[in-house]
A and B are shown apart, each in its own frame.
Chain A
């Protein structure tokens, strides 16, 4: 361990030397900008940076990648808070409490909370990562197809339970989302399903166009109908970013629990920031003494989402670096970055190339701190966006979203999907159907199906495989406990968790 510390120390020195620090700053800025633009995000910024890093030293490249990732997370939070438009998938849940805070005139405070919770969350996740590296292999080996099946199932069950009072509608949309996720080529079955004669649907309904549609475009339509500015508070006395910083320290339990959840979710390949922040948010609601308030700008809920979203990266790095199994979509691209620079995940990365890995970790940590600092300093200025008449912003959001979605795969059909879901999203909001359930179903559908089929193939058709493995059994028990507790609580308190805070405004 002490040699790890030595390596960390020397990595720190290298990081702060020129030109590395230059790369770091460039990375943060690129990350922030890409994170903020709807449709872009770290997946795209990294995809772009990888070929650009051709010829760079691996350590320098890691600095560039790490800082872009850190900046990306925070950039996405900013637009989520200020304009209810998540910049990336992981920031969708940030809108639940972040935006209502903006409407109350507390946008600066929200930025402060986000900056602090994100930076600390990321650091937390990275520390856990470093601690877990020695046992990484054991953990990854313990999670096979049956375990992944149960985990994905928990996700879906959680979605069903969170039926916003209207369980039927929630289950229905969840089911529809799963059906949508089955569109496309299934490798495990070798069948192209529901292609209706085109090639476009081969890779299925893409997540980002759907999210941009449901949250950016729908939001633009909603704003057409709304008040003149986002900030609807009457007072001139707005809370500052520093108030936000303090808030995080006032709720240490929420923070630590959320960061832990985020890291754990990150460990499991395929889930990602959206699920991490969602589960964390759910936890915050469940354990709160005033669950009905959620959706109106509750600080604990917001801390929960921000902390989990960023701590997830630390967890997601673990399967990525030990096994080359990406813990999230961003990690998949980062993996490409590793390979591009001749670094292979596995023992070498953890022993001979440990210095490079630590550099990445440090860069991630640093970028989170740096982008958070930028956020704190610029928070006031940025928050002014919420005081600009909404009409001036809408068309810009729409136009940039269109560019962003197109940029994904150079496909105008993706833009069509985004527009379609933009219109549908409005219908969903107006009639009280949960958009987040739709998104979750899209993500979890392929996971659960493929895990199911692989398990059955491995067992030769026997369903016992789902019930006879220790880790699976552990997950099932945990699941039962969580459901039981949640259900109990719901019965007692007649919770109707406000998933979509905007819903309460619709006729």
Chain B
């Protein structure tokens, strides 16, 4: 099974990925920053005892800088040319990279630290790298030995169990 087995999903992703321009992303990013800093400055006015002092003194110039950069980037014209297939592939790979990271987080939150990471590794090595089961077992096995040793036994961290509270530790 590989990613390409789901054509409709891929099509949709391709459309989104090819339509979104870098400029839009950057502007979105700047907008979010702007909202955040404005919020901080506004709240800052309400804090007692000079607690709002620095946030305001630093925040106002920061807002100006954000606006400056925003305008600077806004006026750069964007060429809405069609992406050639190479660029499209490139972007898809990038989107994939983001997706893998988010997947890892989702797995850890859902299944817990050890189990989640193990599932992640299995999915990654099988789907993306098409490892043989043997090779997979070796990599994942070494990983498990390492984290159990360092984090469970040596550091004795209570390993996060995810939202369902799945036990993570291996009774040793």
Contacts and interface: CB of A to CB of B under 8 A. Distances in A.
A189 B50 contact: yes
A399 B104 contact: yes
A493 interface: no
What is the size category of the interface that chain A forms with chain B?
Answer: 35 or more
Given A176-B37, A407-B151, A419 B101 contact: yes
Contact of A175 (B26, B61, B97, B124): B61
Interface in B113-131: 113, 117, 120-121, 124-125, 128-129
Interface of B is mostly: helix
Given A168-B68, A412-B160, A224 B96 contact: yes
Given A395-B120, A402-B108, A221 B43 contact: no
A412 B36 CA distance: 23
B65 A171 contact: yes
Interface stretch (A178-186, A278-286, A366-374): A178-186
B3 interface: no
Contacts of B51: 186, 189-191, 193
A395 B125 contact: yes
A392 B26 CA distance: 31
Given A168-B65, A412-B160, A452-B54, 20 more contacts: A33-B150, A175-B37, A175-B61, A176-B36, A176-B62, A179-B36, A179-B55, A191-B51, A193-B43, A193-B55, A221-B97, A395-B120, A398-B100, A398-B101, A403-B147, A403-B151, A406-B113, A419-B102, A423-B102, A431-B22
Interface of B: 22, 25-26, 29, 33, 36-37, 40, 43-44, 47-51, 53-55, 58-59, 61-62, 65-66, 68-69, 72, 90, 93-94, 96-98, 100-102, 104-105, 108-109, 113, 117, 120-121, 124-125, 128-129, 139, 143, 146-147, 150-151, 154-155, 157-160
Interface of A: 33, 37, 44, 48, 168-169, 171-172, 175-176, 178-179, 182, 186, 189-191, 193-194, 217, 220-222, 224-225, 391-392, 394-396, 398-400, 402-403, 406-407, 410, 412, 415-416, 419, 422-424, 426-427, 430-431, 448-449, 452-453, 456, 507
